[in-house]
Amino acid sequence: MDVPFYWVDVFAATPLTGNPLALVPDADALPEHTMGAVARELNQSETTFLVRPDRPGADHRLRSFTPGGVEVFGAGHNAMGAWIWLALSGRLDPDRDTFVQQIGDDLLNVRVSGRPPSAVEVSMEQSAPRFLGRVEDRAALAAVLGLAAEDLDADRVAEVVSTGAEHLLVPLRNAAAVDSAEPDTAGLRALLADAGAEGCYLYTVRLDDPAAPVATAPDAATGVSAYTRFFNPTVGIAEDPATGTAAGPLAAVLVRDALAPDPARIVVEQGRKLGRPSLITLGVDGPLVTISGSGIVVAEGTLHL
């Protein structure tokens, strides 16, 4: 069996930036264990497979696997890249701009603006935010992240939040602290299991001045509201350059805590430490969280199975 695949740089305006996604379209003939094996072979933070939906009303169904062969859910760069490819490859009805995607049991709305040769932007809904619990042991948390206790934001608490995937959001005192983190993989995996979380999202809203008040305004030049890094040893991701399923929960927290207005447009920066800078744009309007972005198809190939 020959299986075509594509490489999409998501949350990227130029090639070799953003978060790379491996995409396998027309994947109905692949059993689940082969999808996991293909994801291990392609070795990206996620590989997405497009299959026929099995719920009424869905236009496409997405299944996403990590390099560890673990299926993951939530609408982040895994879904964004799939819809960018669908638009750029001419697979979408040009007379429509709204669609429905199936991810697990969720049906989520997607809006696609533009078609080739113009730029394409995708906006899609995430699940309603759920605030699931806090991690109160600051000393243990700092130690497992390779940080000092004073690197944690003194005014905020780490907590597990989901807009489709449960992630631990850890507020740090400034960008330097975010960049200096060196998590202990085994220790972080154990801490996440105890907290009921999948991955760990480090963030700061103190973008320039370490002594600034928490309610820091977005950077005037870039519009960025938070600077972040993401680690997910639970599913075999050492570090991810752009994580929509974590940026969505963070946006919900910033609005809940009045660090951003409601409704809000929030820009999150991620990937700088990895040399793959990414800007993730989010909208929050009450319980509705949306994520927007664009990307580029940078490669294609064929697996001979």
| CATH number of the domain encompassing residue 43 | 3.10.310.10
Q: How many CA atoms lie within 13 A of 286 on its CB side?
A: 0
Asked if the model's pLDDT at residue 116 lies above 90, the reply is no
Task: Summarize the chain as % helix, strand, coil (round to 5).
Answer: 25, 40, 40
Q: Are residues 70 and 191 located together in one domain of the fold?
A: no
Q: Are residues 136 and 277 located together in one domain of the fold?
A: yes
| Residue type present at position 29 | A
- Among 19-28, 120-129, 203-212, 287-296, where is mean pLDDT lowest? 203-212
Kindly tell me the sign of the dihedral angle through the C-alpha atoms of 270, 189, 249, 219: negative
- Residue 215 counted as domain residue: yes
- Residue 189 counted as domain residue: yes
- Residue 298 counted as domain residue: yes
Tokens 């026929």 — which residue? 52
Per-residue DSSP letter, 152? B
Kindly tell me the sign of the dihedral angle through the C-alpha atoms of 284, 200, 71, 49: positive
> pLDDT at position 215, please?
41
- Residue 287 counted as domain residue: no
Contact (Cβ atoms closer than 8 angstroms) between residue 200 and residue 168? yes
Tell me the C-alpha distance between 181 and 257, whole Å.
Answer: 25
Tell me the C-alpha distance between 25 and 50, whole Å.
Answer: 5
Q: Are residues 159 and 179 located together in one domain of the fold?
A: yes
Q: Are residues 102 and 221 located together in one domain of the fold?
A: no
Asked if the model's pLDDT at residue 280 lies above 60, the reply is yes
Tokens encoding 41: 């072979």
Q: Are residues 120 and 137 located together in one domain of the fold?
A: no
- Residue 143 counted as domain residue: yes
CB count within 10 Å of CB 286 equals 10
Number of domains observed in the structure of the chain: 2
Q: Are residues 163 and 240 located together in one domain of the fold?
A: yes
Report residue 52's pLDDT band, with 50, 70 and 90 as the boundaries: very high
Question: What's the distance, CA 305 to chain centroid?
Answer: 30
Q: Are residues 137 and 117 located together in one domain of the fold?
A: no
**Over the chain, what is the mean pLDDT?**
92
Q: Are residues 30 and 61 located together in one domain of the fold?
A: yes
Report residue 206's pLDDT band, with 50, 70 and 90 as the boundaries: confident
Q: Are residues 105 and 142 located together in one domain of the fold?
A: no
Tell me the C-alpha distance between 160 and 40, whole Å.
Answer: 28
- Residue 47 counted as domain residue: yes
- Determine the structural domain holding residue 218 and report its residue range: 130-282
> pLDDT at position 236, please?
86
Report residue 208's pLDDT band, with 50, 70 and 90 as the boundaries: low
Q: What's the predicted TM-score (pTM) here?
A: 0.89
For residues 271, 88, 26, 1, the Cα torsion angle rounded to the nearest 10 degrees is -80
Q: Are residues 142 and 94 located together in one domain of the fold?
A: no
Angle between helix 77-88 and helix 244-256 axes, rounded to 10 deg: 120
Q: Are residues 298 and 181 located together in one domain of the fold?
A: no
Per-residue DSSP letter, 46? -
Tell me the C-alpha distance between 164 and 130, whole Å.
Answer: 9
Percent of the chain having pLDDT more than 90? 82
- Among 9-23, 96-110, 142-156, 205-219, where is mean pLDDT lowest? 205-219
- Residue 161 counted as domain residue: yes
Tell me the C-alpha distance between 293 and 77, whole Å.
Answer: 9
Asked if the model's pLDDT at residue 216 lies above 60, the reply is no
Q: Are residues 173 and 255 located together in one domain of the fold?
A: yes
Q: Of 214, 226, 231, give the one whose Cα is nearest residue 268.
A: 226
